[in-house]
Amino acid sequence: MILLAGIAQIGLAHYLVVGAIMFVCGAVCMATKRNALGVLMGIELVLNGANINFVAFGSEFLRVNPQYGIGLDGQLIALFVIVLAAAEAAVALAIVLNFYNNHATVDVDRADELKG
């Protein structure tokens, strides 16, 4: 942590803690929700928690030695994760809507039969 004029600035550890909290909240949400939309929200929380960590590791302002590091790699990986999350959300929402049309519910415990 860097001290500037007696005020503690936000460092890399702070971002990692926030990312870890979001990741754990998403994992708990995916494990406990019975509603398919709640599970999708948990997946988005997991992906956003990982994005915070990628951006924090890639930031030149958060590194101790700015000459060493990965540069923009963290931001580029986060951008790819955002694109992946958008595609995943569109496909998953289509599956949930189709499941709702067939079963009149979005409860994932009712998904015990497979038919094509």
43, 95 in Cβ contact below 8 A? no
Cα separation, 84 vs 110, in Å, equals 27
Evaluate if pTM is beyond 0.75: yes
Phi, psi at 8, each rounded to 5°: -75, 130
How does the average pLDDT of the chain come out, rounded?
A: 83
Q: Indicate if the pLDDT at residue 7 is higher than 70.
A: no
Q: What is the DSSP string of 18-30?
A: HHHHHHHHHHHHH
Give me the amino acid identity at 53.
N
Please say if the pLDDT value at position 92 is more than 70.
yes
pLDDT exceeds 90 at position 102: no
Average pLDDT over residues 39-56: 92
In the prediction, which pLDDT does 83 show?
A: 93
The domains of the chain, with CATH numbers, are 10-109 (1.10.287.3510)
